[in-house]
Structure 1
Amino acid sequence: MREQLGQIFRFGLVGGVNTGTFFGIYLLLHPWMPYFLAYTLAFLLAMVGSFFMNTYFTYRTKPTWKKFLLFPLTNVTNYVIQSAGLYALVTWAGMDTRIAPLVAAVVAIPFTYLLSRRILVPGAGRAARTEEPEPSPSARSTV
């Protein structure tokens, strides 16, 4: 349980660093290209950075091609949950549109954490259900 709390804390730190990285890259690229291209490139570069930060720092595991290819699912999940939450908070709860995106983002964090953990930590989903230990480091393939 203590390790999982550490992972949650590190996940939050990586999220903050990743948001700053994304915004910094966007601001650097924006003067040189159309804003949406700058946004897209910044998003993709930040996602690659997020993959490696979460792999090495948050979950302390080795990267693999499979994990790298599955990792964008965490961003899709985050977007869907935040979008649905934003709509619900504004439409049904009458929340201010300036505040609702922040609340929706906070609500999405646990879902994104659990999915990223399942993708990046070998056996995390199975171990949570059956209490099996993770595979040994020698059983993991690397990028």
Structure 2
Amino acid sequence: MSTRIKELWQRWQKDFWRLFRFGITGTVCSLIHYGVYCLCLLFTNTTIAYTAGYGVGLLCNYGLTTYFTFKGKPSKRNVAGFVGSHVLNYLLEIGLLQLFLWLGVSKWLSPVLVMVIVVPINFVLLRLVFVKRKR
């Protein structure tokens, strides 16, 4: 096997397992986010409930993303990048949530649809933050 093919294969394997770990992280944090959302929805409106769930999920997500998904350590750079990517992510999620609610989708199902759309986008944003480019 040529050196170039071997490098590509190793990179693919590394990316595959990173994506797999991201799936686990995303599932765990999404379940926490959705659980907090459902609990808060019992006594507040959808936007506040979603924001509360997002905040709790965000804390969980940073820890798991840093240590488990990308096998790194906390740093000023990745905290700033993580928060920045999640500000964009949150705005996209709230916008989609409101769109689904406006379209008549149930307040219980809307967040699930939002997460299905936004999780892949979030992976790409976080990969830019946590993966160092070779220069």
Q: TM-score range by the shorter chain?
A: 0.5 to 0.7
Q: How large is the RMSD of aligned CA atoms in angstroms?
A: 3.7
> TM-score when scaled to structure 1?
0.59
Aligned residues of 2:30 and 2:115 also touching (Cα < 8 A): no
2:126 maps to amino acid: S
CA apart distance, 1:46: 1.6
2:44 maps to amino acid: Y
| Residues 1:46 and 1:110: Cα distance change in structure 2 (over 3 Å) | closer
2:125 maps to amino acid: L
Give 1:35's aligned residue: 44
Q: 2: CA distance between counterparts of 1:60 and 1:27?
A: 31
1:120 maps to amino acid: F
| Residues 1:24 and 1:81: Cα distance change in structure 2 (over 3 Å) | closer
Tell me whether 1:110 sits opposite 2:120 in the alignment: yes
CA apart distance, 1:100: 8.2
Q: 1: CA distance between counterparts of 2:104 and 2:22?
A: 28
Structure 2 residue runs of 5 or longer lacking an equivalent are 1-11
Q: 1: CA distance between counterparts of 2:13 and 2:37?
A: 36
| Residues 1:10 and 1:44: Cα distance change in structure 2 (over 3 Å) | same
Tell me whether 1:52 sits opposite 2:63 in the alignment: yes
Instruction: Report the count of equivalent residues.
Output: 117
| Residues 1:107 and 1:70: Cα distance change in structure 2 (over 3 Å) | same
Structure 1 residue runs of 5 or longer lacking an equivalent are 90-94, 134-143
Q: State, as a whole percentage, how many aligned pairs show the same letter.
A: 24
CA apart distance, 1:103: 5.8
CA apart distance, 1:119: 1.2
Give 1:17's aligned residue: 28
1:78 to 89, 108, 116: 89
Q: 1: CA distance between counterparts of 2:60 and 2:120?
A: 20
> TM-score when scaled to structure 2?
0.62
Q: 1: CA distance between counterparts of 2:60 and 2:114?
A: 23
Aligned residues of 1:67 and 1:120 also touching (Cα < 8 A): yes
Q: 1: CA distance between counterparts of 2:35 and 2:111?
A: 20
Q: 1: CA distance between counterparts of 2:43 and 2:129?
A: 33
CA apart distance, 1:110: 3.1
Q: 2: CA distance between counterparts of 1:103 and 1:45?
A: 19
